[in-house]
Structures are given as structure tokens and as C-alpha cells.
Amino acid sequence: MTVTVRAAAKINLHLGVGRVREDGFHPLDTVYQAIGIHDDLTLAPADDLTLTTRVADHIDPAGVPDGPDNIVLRAARLLAAHAGRPANGAFEVRKDIPVAGGMAGGSADAAAALVACDRLWDLRTSDDDLLRLAAELGSDIPFSLVGGTARGVGRGELVTPVDDPGAWWWVAVPATEGLSTPAVYRHFDELRPDAPEVPASAEPLLAALATGEPLRLARALHNDLQEPAIDLRPELGDLIALGEAEGALRGMVSGSGPTVVFLCDSAEGARETAAGLAGSGRDVVLTATGPVAGAHVVVGA
């Protein structure tokens, strides 16, 4: 008896960041979209709590955090404590989502762990409780549960699904070396000491999204973490220019980076952009559509 849960990578179509709060987090107004790059997590019954990780060819296994602090094991322990039961089971995670890439790979795994434990342990935890536990574990983990396209406020953990009529085509180019999310936020503070308390509104992005037109969406994409990410990694700016020259409507840093994503006008446009980037010596170029589902059971107990 095992459970397999699939969880998707996220990108931020709009990431408005306000001035840092007293608790060290930044107020956000963001629009998340889950796109078709996935991690699969399998949970089997076991006496102990264990985790093994297998990675896709494009991921350096050395970059994957292991040990008891891994977010998957923390998720399992948190749900077990909530339910008043022991935390046990053997997790195996198969990673396709770039690590430390600004695509919420760790958050996807944590959301998958919550769903898998809930199913294997037959807890039937309410959605409200699962979302609350997810928010305790990390700001974008509630979105990894919800999936699709959703607006996030607070520190990103308060998520409301939004209508998204599009089937959007993306090309994602991960970097060999990840970027630390806290480091990018700290650099935002240095570059923008005058950042407004209220983050830039997601409303214009939502209006563009509602048209279903790739060009309108391309023009509305916005990421306040792009400037600090490019300042830390200037080559990301060159990569964005390259993808746009290869036919993408618009490139931008994904979340805190360093993955760069390109919005394309069609499947054909995405294939051409991906081929152009691969031809320019980029080792790993992924193509994906969005929106896709949040963490969900694909093989049930």
C-alpha cells in the first residue's frame, strides 16, 4: 500500500513586494501559476520516518537538502503532531523541479508530503487545517496545495484562486547554481530602502490574464525581485535578452530566481524559443504549460 502525489512548480506572473515587516517577511501581492514541471512523492508504510531523493538528469543531487530538516520530513512531523499520532513512513521523492530555483520545488514537496500523509494515515484533515499547516511550513506552500492560478497576499500564504482562461506556454531555463531566497529579499531591501509598505497591486496583471491573450499577459508580467536577482547574477539579464531574441514574447526571473521563464505565444513558439536557447549553449531548457493542478494523489492507497 503506497500513495504517490504529484506537485507542480510555480512561477509568479506578478510579484509585488513591499517594505520588510517587523517579523522579517515582506508583504506581497502576487499571482502564482502552477506549470507542468513536477516532483512525484511516494509514501510507503514504515516504522521509521525516512526520505530518499532521486533527481532528474538536469539536477545536481548535491544541491538537494537532506537530513532531518528536509521540508518533507518537517511536513510529516507537523501533520502527525496535529493529528496526535507518530510520524512514520518511507518517502521517496523524484525531483524534476529545479532546486533553489525560484520555482517552489521544496514547497511542492512539502505540499505533496501533507497530502500523502493525510491519505496514507487516513486522517481526512480539513482543507482549512491543511492550508494552515502548509502556511506554517512556508509562505508559498498553501499555493502548492491549491495550484492553478491564484492571488497570494500577506507574506504569500493567503491564497485565493482566480479565473484563468488561458493555456499559457512557458520555457524555463534553470541555472546550474541556485540562489538563496532570503539573500535575494535582503538585496531587495538594500536596493529599495524606500519600498512602499503596500506592494504593487496585482490588478493590472489580473486584467491582462482575463483577456487570454499572450501578448497582453507578456506586457503585464511584473517581478519586484528581478532587479535584485539580476544584480546578484548579471548573466540572468543576458539570458532574458537572448530568449526574447529567440522569439519569446517576454522573459523574466521566476520568483527569487535564478530560473528564467519565457512566455511564448503558442506551442510552436515555445518549441522555437527552446530550440534557439539550446542552440545557444544552454544545457537545460524545459517547456511547460500552465495552469496545472496543485498537489494531488496520482496513485492511491
Cβ proximity to ligand C5P: between 108 and 208 the closer is 108
d(CA 276, CA 286): 12
CB of 135 to ligand C5P, least distance (A): 9
CB of 125 to ligand C5P, least distance (A): 21
CB of 44 to ligand C5P, least distance (A): 28
Q: Is 95 a residue of the active site?
A: no
Amino acid at 240: I
Tell me if 293 sits within 8 A of 148, measured CB to CB: yes
Cβ proximity to ligand C5P: between 28 and 115 the closer is 28
CB of 102 to ligand C5P, least distance (A): 11
CB of 98 to ligand C5P, least distance (A): 16
d(CA 73, CA 87): 9
Which H or E run contains 144? helix 141-146
d(CA 159, CA 135): 10
Cβ proximity to ligand C5P: between 139 and 223 the closer is 139
> Which is the catalytic residue, given 10, 29, 95, 96?
10
Cβ proximity to ligand C5P: between 9 and 28 the closer is 28
Residues in contact with ligand C5P by CB under 6 A are 25-26, 28, 138-140, 155-156, 181-182, 185
Q: Count the helix, strand and coil residues of the chain and give each as a percent rounded to the nearest 5.
A: 35, 30, 35
Using DSSP's 3-state secondary structure scheme, residue 159 falls into strand
Cβ proximity to ligand C5P: between 91 and 188 the closer is 188
Q: Is 164 a residue of the active site?
A: no
Residue found under cell 528581478: 226
CB of 174 to ligand C5P, least distance (A): 19
d(CA 56, CA 40): 11
Q: Are strands 49-55 and 89-95 parallel, antiparallel or unpaired?
A: parallel
* CA-based nearest residue to 284, from 174, 171, 177: 174
Which H or E run contains 187? helix 181-191
Cβ proximity to ligand C5P: between 157 and 265 the closer is 157
Q: Are strands 222-223 and 260-264 parallel, antiparallel or unpaired?
A: unpaired
Tell me if 115 sits within 8 A of 301, measured CB to CB: no
> Which is the catalytic residue, given 39, 96, 118, 140?
140
Residues classed as catalytic: 10, 140
